[in-house]
Structures are given as structure tokens and as C-alpha cells.
Amino acid sequence: MFNIDSSVLIFGGAGTLGSSTALHLARKGFRNIHVLDVYPIPSAQSAGNDLNKIMGTSLRNPVDKQLSLEAEDMWSNDPTFSPFYHRSGRLDCCGSPDGIQDLRDTVAKLQQAGLGHTVEWLDTEAQIVQRVPQLAGSDIQGWKGIFFEKGGWLAAAKAIDSVGKELVRHGVKFSFGDSGVFDSLILSDDGKNCLGAVTKDGTRYLADRVVLASGAWTPSLVDLEDQCCSKAWVYAHMQLTPDEVKAYAGCPVVYNEDLGFFFEPNENGVIKVCDEFPGFTRYKMHQPFGSPKPISVSVPRSHARHPTDTYPHASEVTIRKAIAAFLPKFKDKELFNRAMCWCADTADANLLICEHPLWKNFFLATGDSGHSFKLLPIIGKHIVELLAGTLQKDMREAWRWRPGSGDARKSVRRASAKDLADLPGWKHESKE
């Protein structure tokens, strides 16, 4: 029986998938929700704790159309979320033959899904510049583009903070620090039922349902049998002058799969720039719960705990290359807040949201594959359906437990991720 009196523990509850789960439970009237995390909401080590994330329809997987439409509706109309949706538009653009083919494939997929009318194909540089005047004078020879009028960006950390405030209003219980960090499960005598969990400080919590939504940390907490590979992506910030801010205000998100992407300046005149690449792993021997012995697993390193970490020297080169291509005016600008942010890739880039096959009432919600922040308002609704046993079949199928079904280290990307151990330049303090 699962009803509003059931108790639910949500680890990673201060991040994207976890906070959304707590929100949907709270809105349904559940009175016994306990959010646990190492940092208070919005968790300083959540990938969602960021200036901005890209918003727009992306149809990678079978259930994406429904999720995209549901998310767009809530980002537009739900007061907890709508202040944080900036409808600047989004340009996907590329100059390489492979990149242009990918753009054409994207249009074809949208058309097949009946969403062809939501994008405009930009065939020439002039058409691109007409949509994004800030690209005039950039090195975009031969580029093609797709313009998503409806897309834009999300003020990510602020949106999770807004969820946190609503959770407080609903009376949700929180535990942060060592009493919020997952250590192990409490199992029934026959080992088949999850009865609760123990946290790092030894506190024992009993619950009807336990959800582990710890993002890129999940594979180091519970053995996921290689279904998720945690990888870091990088970003840097640059400060614009007031005149530059005026010129870039309202600029659509520009995304180039060969180079990277940038966002319009925020209220402090800061632009975030990212390069695009297959991510960085950090493999080490580690023993997650459920594994009888230490195994090789990519373990994130928290930027919140290691604030002087930056990114590898190689990232400075690729971020500078992206800036030189689409923000040439700013190519000599100082960069700051260089950092890594951790996501969990699955082999097929579908989420991993399912009950654990061995331990009933223990649920995983991870495998964001770098594209799930836009689902913040809606994903929790479906996670709650999973807890209640009512999740629709195509979602159950897409998000199922599926070890052995592919290579998460490569995922659907062009190449396998390189390991941080082989990349100098990012670690600026010796403490582990």
C-alpha cells in the first residue's frame, strides 16, 4: 500500500531528480517525506546548481516528446518554475559535415514527431545572423542552423531553490551533512525487502520507500553494474562590461556540437561558456553498497568540497577555441570560475529510474545523461508514479534496470570519455 501516509526517504533530495520527486509527493499531500543530501537545497554539488541550463525539445529517446511537452508546460505556467525560464530562443548550429547531418537528423525527428513547425532551418550564414545578430563577424562560414523559437535557458540553481522553498512550505523534513549521506540499506531478514537506510553518521532511518537520486554520485553509493558512468563536463565564466551586456542581452543560446555553447549574460553581466566533448571520468577502486568487493568505478570529485579544483589544461584550449569561434570579440577576456560539473551517462542516454531488482521498495533515479535538467518540473511526477506502481509502460521500459545492454563509458557520444588521471592541470590541492 502506498498512500499519503507512507514514508519516503529521498537521498539526493537537494538535486534535480530528488527535489522534483519530493515536490510531487508534497503536492499530492504526502505528509512523511524526508529529503536527505550532503548539502542543503540547492545542493552545492548537484549538476543543477548552475547559472543556467539549456531549455528546449530534445528527442533522443522514445518518451522524450511527452516529457518535453509536459516540462515546457510547467516551466511556462507553474509559478514555482516560470520565473526561471528565459525564452531567449536557441540556435543549434554547425559547420562540419557530420554536424550538419546531425542537424538534418534532428529536424527529421522533430517532423516525424509532429513538431517540425517548432523549428526553422537556417541554411545560410545570413539567415543565422538574422536570428542571432551577435554572431555577425564570427567565424561561421558554411554553418547551418536550426532555430528553436520556443527554447532558451533556465536559471537552474534558482529553480531548484524555488522547489526547496515550496518543500519547506509543505513541511517536508530535511537532513543535510553526514546524516544526509547514503551509506547502506536496512534489509529484511530474508534480504529481499528494503526497510530503510543508514547514513554516513550511522543514523538509521526506516521508511516505506527509499529513493536514491544522487545523480553522478549514485554509482559510487550502490553497485549499478556499470549501467551508469559518471563524467565531468566543464565551464568557465566571463565578465562583460555594461555596454557588452547591452549587446548580448536576449541573445539566444548558441549550441554547436563540435565546439560548445554559451548563454546570454545573467543579471551580473556574466556569460557561461562550455566546450562540447565526451566528458571526463575519474575511475578508482571503490566498494559501493551491494558489491562484495571493491570495483573500478568513476567517482565524482565534488567541486563544493574542493573549490580550488578547476579543469584540465586541455579544457582551457577547447573553451578558448569555442570563444574564438562564436564570441571572437571576447577572445582575450579573462575567464574565472573554471569548474567541472558531474553527470551520469547511461549507454543509451535514457534515464535509469526503476526499482532495484534485488531489494523491493528501493528505487533508483539517476542516469540523467547530461540532458535532464529541463525535466526538473515534471520528472518527479513520473518517479512518484513508479513508487506507486502506476508508471506508464513506455517509461518503465525506457528507464528499466538494464545491465549488459551497452557501454555507458562511451554512451551515444562520439568517443569514450578520457580519464582525469591522464589530464594535467585541474587539481589544485593535494587533499583527496
Separation CA 63–CA 264 (nearest Å): 30
**Contact (Cβ atoms closer than 8 angstroms) between residue 89 and residue 252:** yes
Judged by CB under 6 A, the chain residues 369 through 388 that form the site for ligand FSA are 370-371, 374
Sole binder of ligand FSA in the list 57, 58, 199, 230 (CB under 6 A): 58
Distance CA 430, CA 306 (A): 10
* Cβ atoms 370, 277 nearer than 8 A: no
In terms of DSSP bridges, do strands 260-262 and 270-275 run parallel, antiparallel, or are they unpaired? antiparallel
Binding mask 316-345 for ligand FSA (x = CB under 6 A): ---------------------------x--
Q: Which stretch binds ligand FSA (CB under 6 A): 72-80, 104-112, 329-337, 368-376?
A: 368-376
Give 9's strand partners: 34, 210
Task: Please tell me the distance from the alpha carbon of residue 389 to that of residue 408, in angstroms, as a whole number.
Answer: 27
Q: How far is the CB of 93 from ligand FSA (least distance, A)?
A: 14
Nearer to ligand FSA, 254 or 274 (CB): 274
Tell the residue number behind the cell numbers 516528446, with chain if given.
65
**In whole angstroms, what is the distance from residue 65 CA to residue 60 CA?**
9
Q: Distance (Å, rounded) from C-alpha 28 to C-alpha 351?
A: 24
Instruction: In angstroms, give the least distance from the CB of 341 to ligand FSA.
Output: 8
Nearest to 127 by CA among 106, 143, 150, 111: 143
Residue nearest to ligand FSA (CB): 370
The closest of 109, 18, 107, 1 to 65, measured between CA atoms, is 109
Our finding on whether 167 is near ligand FSA (CB under 6 A) is: no
CB of 212 to ligand FSA, least distance (A): 21
- Taking the least distance from each CB to ligand FSA, the nearer of 13 and 48 is 48
**Cβ pair 378, 272 in contact under 8 A:** no
According to DSSP, the β-strands at 173-176 and 85-86 are unpaired
Nearest CB to ligand FSA, comparing residues 18 and 367: 367
Q: How far is CA 403 from CA 223, 281, 293, 400, 406, in A?
A: 11, 19, 18, 9, 8
Does position 54 interact with ligand FSA (CB under 6 A)? The reply is yes
Note whether 274 binds ligand FSA by CB under 6 A. Answer: yes
Residues in the interface with ligand FSA (CB under 6 A) total 9
C-alpha cell at 412: 551515444
Report in angstroms how near the CB of residue 369 gets to ligand FSA at its nearest: 6
Task: Tell me how far, at minimum, the Cβ of 100 lies from ligand FSA, in Å.
Answer: 18
Q: Rounded to the nearest whole angstrom, what is the least distance from the CB of residue 78 to ligand FSA in the complex?
A: 20
Smallest separation (angstroms) from ligand FSA to the CB of 372: 8
Q: Which is nearer to ligand FSA, 143 or 233 (CB)?
A: 233
Indicate which single residue of 11, 233, 262, 263 sits in contact with ligand FSA (rule: CB under 6 A): 233
From candidates 70, 149, 183, 276, binder to ligand FSA by CB under 6 A: 276
Contact set with ligand FSA (CB under 6 A): 54, 58, 233, 274, 276, 343, 370-371, 374
